Structure 1
Amino acid sequence: MKKLFVLMTFMLSFNVAAVIDVYDFENAEQEALFRTLTAELRCPKCQNNNLADSNASLAKDMRTKTYHMVVEGKTEDQIVTYWIDRFGNFVLYKPPVTLGTAILWVGPGLFVLFGGLIIVRNSRRKVSVTADDRDEALSSAEKARLAKILKDSEK
């Protein structure tokens, strides 16, 4: 039983041995830029991980390309623009405020606000009907018929 447990543990431990990307930089500024970029850029496949945290092959390719651009001496803005041109603003964890993103953030609030205004307006529009208003709305023939129905129901 103990041998089976050791064998199972050994077999399952292969999943834990993941490949770690190792990059050599010329100076600390390049490494800091690379770390910043891989933390700020989103993996298009995973959608909830940044490039540094993602294990997807696309993220690995993006990390490698980012590394090459950093080593070539490109600035942060040039690298970010490169990725935005390929994947759109979605690749950024903090996308710029545009009409599309403003609608996403403001839209639900406006929907709730306008819905509340419609509910308030409709609830105030309903006027309670008094007994006098109901009597005036009935003709004399209707009043007589109503009186007869009420007498019949009392019997």
Structure 2
Amino acid sequence: MIRIAAILWVVFASVAVALDPSEMLEDPTLEAKARELDHALRCVVCQSESVASSNATWAVEARQVIREQVAAGKTRDEVVDFFVERYGEFVLMTPRTSGANWLLWAAGPLMLLMAMGIGVVYLRGRSSAPAPTEAGLSADESRRLREIMDE
């Protein structure tokens, strides 16, 4: 029980330390906008964490850049475009549905429809196939079977 509590403390403490109070903006509205951007962008070092929850050096620098741009009056889209230009769409926690990404978004439902179609065709073909008939033994096979059984 103590081990679980210690692990949970380490996990939650590391997330709480991710944003240094000195990084925060004075204006609560701008800080809220910056935090929303922190959660929308992926840390390119950690790759599975957002900038908000990462303690990597790159994430700390990204949070500083976000706050500088928000304080300069840039919109959310301008800040996101700034990072996408430099790091590609991989930096977005939720990829855009424009361009070639629409295929990625549509791939799951398309594969499900294809699998359902293949299943329907298979089941229909199977139900309309003639039932296998049991052929009797030939005369030679019957004779050989009797010989084996008599031994």
Q: TM-score under structure 1 normalisation? A: 0.65
Q: CA deviation at 1:50?
A: 1.3
Matched, 1:120 2:123: yes
**How high is the TM-score relative to the length of structure 2?**
0.67
Structure 2 runs not aligned, ≥5 long: 1-13
Matched residue pairs, number? 131
Tell me the equivalent position of 2:48.
48
2:139 matched residue in structure 1: 144
Larger Rg: 1
Equivalent positions of 1:102-113 (< 5 A) are: 102-106=105-109, 109-110=112-113, 112-113=115-116
Structure number with greater CO (CA < 8 Å, separation at least 6) is: 2
Deviation at 1:111, TM superposition (A): 6.5
Query: Matched residues in 2 for 1:153 and 1:89: separation?
Result: 74
Shift of 1:121: 5.5
1:28 Cα offset (Å) = 2.9
Deviations 1:64-113 (A, max 9, x none): 11111111111111001111222222222222233342255336535653
Aligned counterparts of 2:47 and 2:22: Cα–Cα separation in 1? 24
C-alpha contact (below 8 Å) 1:51/1:62 kept by paired residues: yes
1:71-82 equivalent positions in 2, closer than 5 A: 71-82=71-82
Deviation at 1:114, TM superposition (A): 5.6
| RMSD over aligned Cα atoms | 3.1
Counting aligned pairs with the same residue, the percent is: 26
Q: What does 1:27-46 correspond to in 2, within 5 Å?
A: 27-46=27-46
Q: Corresponding residue for 2:133?
A: 130
Q: What is the aligned partner in structure 1 of residue 148 from structure 2?
A: 153
